[in-house]
């Protein structure tokens, strides 16, 4: 390995170490929105032993929300410009990203077989808050604060 390729690999490793798996910008947008709608949730299922480390867990509703990055989870919606496949090192990235997609499908299937309902929110969906709000309410049903207001 040449000095130049070693430096490139070290720089790439440094870049990759900066990519977070929790508390990402799309996840924080979704969490703030869901909280503002009156829903309460658990984060990442610590201690629950759920497949896939879900981002948000609504235990009493038996519902789970994953917030997926369009690039990392290969969002295949043609209107999404973030889900593009990489053009370089396709021999590495292709199988890696396909593996992420396959793992997501396995985890979703396992959760559904265990009686959970699963919703995926894509990073690109966080740009339209009103549409996202409707999607969340349709999935979760009325929040406690909403139903309390309706009863009063």
The model's pTM is 0.82
pLDDT tens digits along 97-130: 999 999 999 999 999 999 999 999 999 999 999 9
Ordered structural domains, the chain, with CATH? 22-151 (3.40.960.10)
Buried b (16+ CB within 10 A) or exposed e, 11-21: eeeeeeeeeee
The closest alpha carbon to 24, from 63, 60, 67, belongs to 67
Give the Cβ contact number of residue 88 at 10 Å.
7
Instruction: Give the pLDDT score at 13.
Output: 58
CA distances from 69 to 80, 122, 134, 150 (A): 11, 6, 20, 36
């Amino acid at each position: 390995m040449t000095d130049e390729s070693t430096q490139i690999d070290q720089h790439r490793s440094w870049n990759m170490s900066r990519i977070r798996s929790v508390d990402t910008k799309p996840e924080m947008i979704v969490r703030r929105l869901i909280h503002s709608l009156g829903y309460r949730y658990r984060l990442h299922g610590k201690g629950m032993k759920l497949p896939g480390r879900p981002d948000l867990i609504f235990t009493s509703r038996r519902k789970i929300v994953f917030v997926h990055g369009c690039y990392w989870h290969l969002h295949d919606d043609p209107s999404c410009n973030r889900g593009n496949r990489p053009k370089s090192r396709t021999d590495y990235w292709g199988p890696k990203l396909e593996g992420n997609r396959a793992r997501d499908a396995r985890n979703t299937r396992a959760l559904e077989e265990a009686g959970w309902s699963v919703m995926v929110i894509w990073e690109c969906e966080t740009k339209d808050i009103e549409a996202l709000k409707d999607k969340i309410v349709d999935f979760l049903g009325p929040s406690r604060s909403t139903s309390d207001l309706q009863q009063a």
